[in-house]
Structure 1
Amino acid sequence: MTFYTENYITNHQQVNSVVNYTLILISLLLLLATSLYYFRHRLQTKYRDLGIIFLLLLLIFSGLQITNLEKNYTQHTQANQMQPFIRAVARDHHLKSSQVVVNSPTLTDGIIVRFNKQDYRVNFSSSGDNYTLTRTHVVDHHVNIQN
């Protein structure tokens, strides 16, 4: 079972964005180069065809990046909801927030919170402004903590 610290939730960066930005930049440079070759040698249509291929690749990678940005925004807002919850649990049980770990980076009903080597299931009210911790036991005691 994997648990996440507050530090991991706030600082987790997506590598996919860097890869997509790199592919977009390479496609843009290739599109620019083939456009220059096409305008210089208008009778050779292979440069026009390559330009169309690179334009389509650029559009595909740009679409993927927009999708990733939307997903990252959703994850970021959910992580912003998780931080006050972790701090509230730590404050209520007289702990540091680094001593509280959760099994999900998103704030949902039924997540498991671990502190003092004990596990608790979280039940939120319908309005979401309060919670109840119920002692629970996990089947798999092998814990992986993501810092």
Structure 2
Amino acid sequence: MTFYTYNYLNGGQTNWKLVRIVTVVILALGFLFFIFMFFRHRWDRKYKDLSIILGTLLLLAAAIQYSDFTNMRTASVQSGQLTVVIEKSAAKLDIKPQDISINDTSRNTDMIIKTPRGYYKLIFNGSGSEFLLEKADLYKPDVKVIGE
């Protein structure tokens, strides 16, 4: 069973944002360079072809970047919901949120938290606004904690 720490959920799970942005900037600069060279040397078709190729790559990279941005925004909202659940659980158990790990990165009905005091099952009400903590005993737990 895999658990995710409060710090892992609170911080970003990806470090590729900078690399992707640098890639899009390099493609944009290359595209502008070849467009400039095409207007400077109108009779040389290689600059036109290269600018079309880089323009297509730039559009593809921008579309991928936008798709990843929307996916990260959705994941961020879900992680934000989970951090609130962890903070409320920590308050109920009178421990620090950093000492709690949760077994999923998106909110569902079968969630378990790992604390220094043991494992607890989260039982949500019908609207999902409140929850009950129930002590749980895991049979031969194979626990992997991500974010420690």
Show CA shifts across 1:4-34 (max 9, x none): 2212211125223222211111111111111
Partner of 2:93: 93
Q: How many equivalent pairs are there? A: 147
Question: Which consecutive unaligned segments of at least 5 residues does structure 1 have?
Answer: none
- The CA RMSD over aligned residues, in Å, is 1.8
Question: Which consecutive unaligned segments of at least 5 residues does structure 2 have?
Answer: none
Structure 1: 4+ residue segments shifted above 3 A: none
Partner of 1:35: 35
Report the TM-score when normalising by structure 2.
Answer: 0.88
Separation in 1, partners of 2:62, 2:75: 20
Residue identity opposite 2:80 in structure 1: N
Separation in 1, partners of 2:24, 2:146: 34
Q: Alignment identity in percent? A: 27
Partner of 2:10: 10
Answer whether contact 1:119 1:138 (CA < 8 A) is retained: no
The correspondence of residues 1-147 of structure 1 with structure 2, limited to 5 A, is: 1-116=1-116, 118-134=118-134, 135-137=136-138, 139-147=140-148
Show CA shifts across 1:58-116 (max 9, x none): 00010011111101111111121112211111111121112211122322221221112
Residue identity opposite 1:123 in structure 2: I
